[in-house]
Amino acid sequence: MKRKITLKQIAKELDVSISTVSKALRNSIEISEDTRQKIQAFAKLYNYRPNNIALSLKNRKTKTIGIIIPEIVHHFFSKVITGIELVANKRGYNVIVGLSNESFDKEVINMQMLANGSIDGFILSIAKETLLQQDYHHFTETINQGMPIVMFDRVVNEIPCDKVIVDDVKGAKQAVEKLISNGCKNIAIISTKDYVSVGKLRTQGYLEALEDHKIDPKASLILKIEDKLMSDDHLDKLESEVEQLFQSNKSIDGIFAVNELYAVTAIKVARKLGLKIPDDLQVISFSDGVLSKHSTPSLTTVSQHGQKIGEKAANLLINRLEAEEVDYNDETEEVYETVIIETNLIERESTKN
């Protein structure tokens, strides 16, 4: 994407305040007609397009980072926030956390509110409803207005920004290969619907592992859950769907779950059906959180290293915020970085050694 001119750059070029530029572009009578015409002509020349995300009119940095996460109770997201705060505090920045609750509308409102002079840039993981709707205008508008974004975990390739991810395909493949090497012949996967990027990628890793070992995948062994915020009704529905998976496939001897809640639910249902873990059924989960360590038996997991993800995301954003301003006449493409954090398998009691 070609570099976009910002309010700040117009102000600097014409030697006026950002507030003056903003008012002139809105045709405010507070600004003289001559200044309005000059600013509007300059903005038109460089194809400046204002948008409906209200960004700061202050010609100064807030030294604050906005974090938008889908849910607060998830151990992974809390570890990411810890990593962001460590780096931000060390480099003289504060953080503000906003919660989307997996809602598109709340994600947009959070960004509008925080972008209104409160923060300098965003670190975020996309809400599931946003991924389902595939409406990313609020990200594009924010970036085009000169406010950088770093995405982590759930990202979309269409948005030109820095990203921090794990190799979901590789991590899932490693988990399923562990089950295969332990003698599992009928391995099921419990995943989110494919519109959630990490669920789709982890399912891909599951299928690749089966293919590499000449095991034909069975549709009946692939359970896709409509993942929503946790409630008693949702947890009951999850348990019911997992039980149906077992009832329809009596020969299941391995489970790969894309998150630890699904894995713990599978263990609960399996034990209710009289299966012993790991003798009759072995289970591996993506995401190494509190549930994994304290479940009975404890869960073998693929660790995502949430704190490392947060630290890297914070450094990427602050480095971009503190980089020297570029020439908006520069026709070269903006260069963005996608950092991949390595996962590793942590073996516990839910698999055989």
Mean of the per-residue pLDDT values for the chain?
A: 89
> Tokens 């050694």 correspond to what residue?
353
pTM beyond 0.85, yes or no: no
DSSP letter for each residue of 137-176: HHHHHHHHTT--EEEESS--TTS-SEEEEE-HHHHHHHHH
Kindly give the pairing relationship between strand 187-192 and strand 222-225: parallel
pLDDT tens sequence across 212-269: 999 999 999 999 998 665 556 778 889 999 999 999 999 999 999 999 999 999 999 9
pLDDT tens sequence across 136-167: 999 998 998 789 999 999 999 999 999 999 99
What pLDDT sits at residue 25? Answer: 83
Q: Is pLDDT at 65 greater than 90 in this prediction?
A: yes
